[in-house]
Amino acid sequence: MKFPHVQTRKVDLVIVGGGLGGIACAISACTLGLKVILVEELDWLGGQLTSQGIPLDEHLWVETLTISRSYTNFRDRVRKYYLDNLPLSFEGRKFPINPGRGAITSLCHDPRVAVRVFDDMLAPHEFNGNLTILRNYQIRDAHVAGDRITAIDVVSKCGEHSFELCGAIFVDASETGELIEKAGIEHVTGAEAASETGELHALDQADPLDQQGFTWPFAVDYINGEDHTISKPSQYDFWREYRPLLWPGPLLSFEVLDHHKHTSAVYPLFDGNSDSPLSMDLWHFRRIAARKSFEEGYLKSDISVMCGYQNEYWLKPAIGVPPEQGKVALEESRQLSLSFLYWLQTEAPRHDGGYGYKGLRLRGDALGTLDGLAKQPYFREGRRIKSQFTLLEQHIGFDARPGATSAEHFRDSIGLGCYRINIHATKTRDVIDIPAFPYQLPLGMLLPIRMQNILPACCKSVGTTRVTNGSVRHHPIEWFIGEAVGALAAYSVANSLIPHQVREDQVHLTQFQRTLNDLGIILRWPAFEMRGSHILKTSWADYFHRGHGPNHIGYI
């Protein structure tokens, strides 16, 4: 392919990837005075929340405990957008405003709203010249000298424009760690061995191709009495007969393997009153627009995102394999999602008798696509850097810390995390879903063992293991990581340091943590939340009783 004339741009910070981590990184870096270029391969910013259509999946106290001022600001802006621009009903305006009334979170909302909010949050930094966003650009190459990246080459998808981007620091905020691979940075894919990590739930043998299932979500509404059946997918017959290991029946079924109890469970499309906060049917779980949240007649139907057991793909790895092999896996994943939809439309047992919900209609407009599927698949893992410090199950897991009342405390905390350890199935093994303490995110997990001027800002690329990645990979934690990375870049540039030196010098570390505090980032959990499983269960019971839904055991 012939590339156009290359223009060179020099800034303080170059961010590859406009997901949640990339957005938060840009905001904190620009707030602290850096000149930043953000490169995103799609036209939407927001990653897993928008381009992948996955509603927020958050910690238990997200409505009552602010642990990042900017993340709380984002959530407040989403609700304000609905109040200012959309015809919410009286019920829809009740706090906490949850336009989708989904079970996965207390703020299930349309991805298009998040896209607009992100653009608004970044606009002040674009207007004052601190931030340049290159949308629809892909990384082509990385130039490395010794232990530093000197520049990266990016090209527009249309092939008309090409840039060489130079920066003091580079950030990989891509969904699967593309810059990590291009720059030859030491990393891990798939599963580590228990002999390497000492973790209770690690595999006996390492396997870089043992990768969790990924999903190509799609959005649908339901118009009863109409027929919106799609053409039969080319791989439908295969997926209709496919039966996963240990499952009670075929993959395309409402009877699935419960990933908590490891027994048979039934999750239908509709289960009685799908407006109940306790309903765990497929329709309610990731519903992003509920008719009752809006004035009567505004919506013809609810809109829900399908991302669950039945369209989770694990037959072939897509990361760390030759590009042509990865393309095969991606296409088979798309075929699986289309096959799931076709099965729902034609063969699924109906809650009211008969078979097939022909009224299911693809809503690509909600996901910014013409075909109804999300702009990109939702990957649950990527390329994880080999870091100065690796977060292990022994640091955060209940089972791995017998007798402990909290997670490990880290002197170099840069933020907080809280989510169960949820490792999805692969072709050869079942799901692992185990509790974890609320924990701190150590600075050491952001620092590559060798490279000096690159930092990861995607939650799937930081220094975790396969096991702890199962907790760290969720929306708010990615935001917190990105926010801290942007601040670390700014502190390093301002003090003529490489990021590693900030951790090595206690004076600099303390000053950097004060910078984080000034940005509204909390570094330690309140003591009452750190008293172990009994308090966690009590807090959860109270949270659930208040009607916020079972979001801490969400399946994403």
Q: At which of 318, 341, 367 does a domain end?
A: 367
pLDDT (tens digit, 9 = 90+) per residue, 313-342? 999 999 999 999 999 999 999 999 999 999
Look up residue 166 and give its two tokens.
């130079």
What is the distance between the alpha carbons of residues 342 and 336, in angstroms, rounded to a whole number? 10
CATH number, position 433:
3.50.50.60
Residues 120 and 237 in one domain: no
Question: Is a pLDDT exceeding 70 seen at residue 310?
Answer: yes
What is the distance between the alpha carbons of residues 251 and 340, in angstroms, rounded to a whole number? 9
What is the distance between the alpha carbons of residues 175 and 21, in angstroms, rounded to a whole number? 10
Residues 500 and 392 in one domain: yes
Q: Provide Rg for the chain, Cα atoms.
A: 23
In a domain, 199, yes or no: no
Q: What is the mean pLDDT of residues 98-125?
A: 96
Q: How confident is the model at residue 366 (pLDDT cuts 50, 70, 90)?
A: very high
Q: What is the pLDDT of residue 458?
A: 96
Residues 472 and 338 in one domain: no
Q: What is the mean pLDDT of residues 215-243?
A: 97
pLDDT (tens digit, 9 = 90+) per residue, 518-553? 999 999 998 754 444 433 433 333 333 333 333 333
Beta bridge partners of residue 417, listed in sequence order = 439
What is the distance between the alpha carbons of residues 284 and 282, in angstroms, rounded to a whole number? 6
What is the distance between the alpha carbons of residues 556 and 548, in angstroms, rounded to a whole number? 18
Domain, as residue range, for 218: 214-367
In a domain, 469, yes or no: yes
Residue 522 contacts residue 67 (beta carbons within 8 Å) = yes
Tally of domains within the chain: 2
3-state secondary structure of 431: coil
In a domain, 175, yes or no: yes
Q: What is the pLDDT of residue 556?
A: 32
Q: What is the pLDDT of residue 291?
A: 95
Residues 458 and 528 in one domain: yes
In a domain, 389, yes or no: yes
Q: What is the mean pLDDT of residues 459-475?
A: 96
Q: What is the mean pLDDT of residues 417-423?
A: 92
Residues 347 and 399 in one domain: no
Q: What is the pLDDT of residue 8?
A: 95
In a domain, 205, yes or no: no
Q: At which of 313, 339, 367 does a domain end?
A: 367
pLDDT (tens digit, 9 = 90+) per residue, 249-268? 999 999 987 766 778 889 89
Residue 499 contacts residue 412 (beta carbons within 8 Å) = no
In a domain, 417, yes or no: yes
Residues 398 and 546 in one domain: yes
Residues 23 and 138 in one domain: yes
Residues 219 and 150 in one domain: no
Residues 295 and 406 in one domain: no
In a domain, 204, yes or no: no
In a domain, 193, yes or no: no
Beta bridge partners of residue 255, listed in sequence order = 266
Residues 244 and 340 in one domain: yes
Q: At which of 367, 391, 410 does a domain end?
A: 367
Residues 162 and 285 in one domain: no
Q: How confident is the model at residue 226 (pLDDT cuts 50, 70, 90)?
A: very high
Residues 165 and 284 in one domain: no
Rounded to 10 degrees, the C-alpha dihedral 161/162/167/169 comes to 100
